[in-house]
């Protein structure tokens, strides 16, 4: 592992690190914020998964999360959204290929060789973090925005007992029934739609739900509402009597202005589950 940068922030350290990933068979970069408490004790972990076109850097610089995490004594992990590099398959469209890993393990060519973001986020990166940093991996929570909200919800429900809480900003909520989903799941996983179900938060909520609290914020003026289908997830949460809150925020769009406006709420929500 190589440390690319470290900056003092809110009494802690915001780092950027790179390493050779076996899962994705390329170099991967991630951001890690360690609060001041990490100098003395192992600290709980909040994952933040970003959306389409993003890298590790977008949320790290725009989400305004570090100050609230420092106050709560929580580390923040900002993974990249896909494998990258000259030898990694890509597409001319912004919503497929590099920057659009969709948090799945691809089984179809040309994506299968590198696009294993589920394995990377669920297995490889947690093992690296546990070995290299003072993190309490028994206390993890997960959050995400848009495609990252999809990833956060599906990982949380797909890995029971891993995360104590899950939240999302404007998640791609029902990808098996949306153009933001059918295109990517078909390309990465193939035409058999039965293999898609484990990557659809609405279907997973209907089937199993999440064994902890859920917080969803959706902008009421989001320009991508028809693609996100928040009403499907809200209905599934209500039908399941899922512990959680779904909030429609009047006037907010899909941008990081929306995310940063409610980040304090999300960090506090996770802090309650992680720290008490």
Q: What's the average model confidence in pLDDT over 175-186?
A: 97
Q: Looking at the predicted structure, is the pLDDT value of residue 70 above 90?
A: yes
Contacts of 216 (CB under 8 A, 6+ apart): 149, 167, 168, 171, 230, 233, 234, 237, 244, 245, 246, 247
DSSP assignment letter at 193:
G
Peptide linkage before 22 cis (omega within 30 of 0): no
**Do 110 and 140 touch, CB atoms closer than 8 A?**
no
HEC letters along 213-257: CEEEEEECCCCCHHHHCHHHHHHHHHHHCCCEEEEEECCCCCCHH
Average pLDDT, the chain: 98
Nearest CA among 41, 32, 16 for reference residue 136 = 41
Q: What's the average model confidence in pLDDT over 5-16?
A: 98
Q: Residue 86 — pLDDT band, cuts 50, 70, 90?
A: very high
Ranges of each domain in the chain: 2-271
Q: Residue 229 — pLDDT band, cuts 50, 70, 90?
A: very high
* pLDDT, tens digit (0-9, with 9 covering 90-100), for 254-271: 999 999 999 999 999 999
The pLDDT assigned to 206 comes to 98
* pLDDT, tens digit (0-9, with 9 covering 90-100), for 122-134: 999 999 999 999 9
* pLDDT, tens digit (0-9, with 9 covering 90-100), for 21-48: 999 999 999 999 999 999 999 999 999 9
Q: What's the average model confidence in pLDDT over 41-56?
A: 98
Active-site residue set = 146, 222, 254
Q: What's the average model confidence in pLDDT over 59-65?
A: 97
Which backbone phi and psi does 46 adopt, to 5 degrees?
-115, 120
Distance CA 194, CA 94 (A): 26
Contacts of 61 (CB under 8 A, 6+ apart): none
CATH number of 2-271: 3.40.50.1820
Q: Looking at the predicted structure, is the pLDDT value of residue 276 above 90?
A: no
Q: What's the average model confidence in pLDDT over 79-105?
A: 97
Q: What's the average model confidence in pLDDT over 157-175?
A: 98
Provide, rounded to the nearest whole percent, the portion of the chain with pLDDT above 90: 100
Q: What's the average model confidence in pLDDT over 1-29?
A: 98
């Amino acid at each position: 592992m190589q440390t690319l940068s470290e900056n003092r922030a809110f009494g802690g350290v915001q780092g950027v690190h790179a390493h050779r990933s076996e899962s994705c068979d390329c170099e991967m970069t991630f951001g890690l914020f360690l609060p001041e408490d990490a100098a003395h004790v192992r600290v709980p972990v909040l994952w933040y998964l970003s959306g389409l076109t993003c890298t590790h850097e977008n949320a790290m610089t725009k989400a305004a999360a570090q100050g609230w995490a420092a106050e709560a004594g929580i580390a923040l992990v900002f993974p990249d959204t896909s494998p990258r590099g000259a030898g990694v398959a890509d597409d001319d469209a912004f919503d497929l290929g590099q920057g659009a890993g969709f948090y799945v393990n691809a089984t179809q060519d040309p994506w299968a060789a590198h696009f294993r973001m589920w394995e990377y986020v669920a297995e490889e990166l947690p093992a690296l973090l546990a070995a290299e940093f003072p993190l309490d991996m028994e206390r993890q929570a997960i959050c995400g925005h848009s495609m990252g909200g999809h990833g956060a919800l599906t990982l949380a429900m797909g890995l029971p007992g891993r995360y104590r809480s899950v939240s999302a900003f404007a998640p791609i909520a029902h990808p098996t029934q949306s153009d933001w989903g059918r295109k990517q799941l078909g390309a990465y996983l193939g035409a058999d739609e039965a293999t898609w179900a484990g990557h659809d938060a609405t279907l997973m909520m209907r089937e199993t739900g999440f064994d902890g609290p859920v917080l969803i914020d959706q902008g009421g003026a989001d320009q991508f509402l028809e693609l996100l289908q928040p009403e499907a997830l809200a209905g599934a949460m209500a039908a399941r009597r899922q512990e959680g809150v779904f909030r429609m925020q009047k006037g907010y769009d899909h941008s990081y202005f929306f995310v940063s406006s409610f980040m304090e709420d999300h960090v506090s929500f996770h802090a309650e589950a992680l720290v008490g």
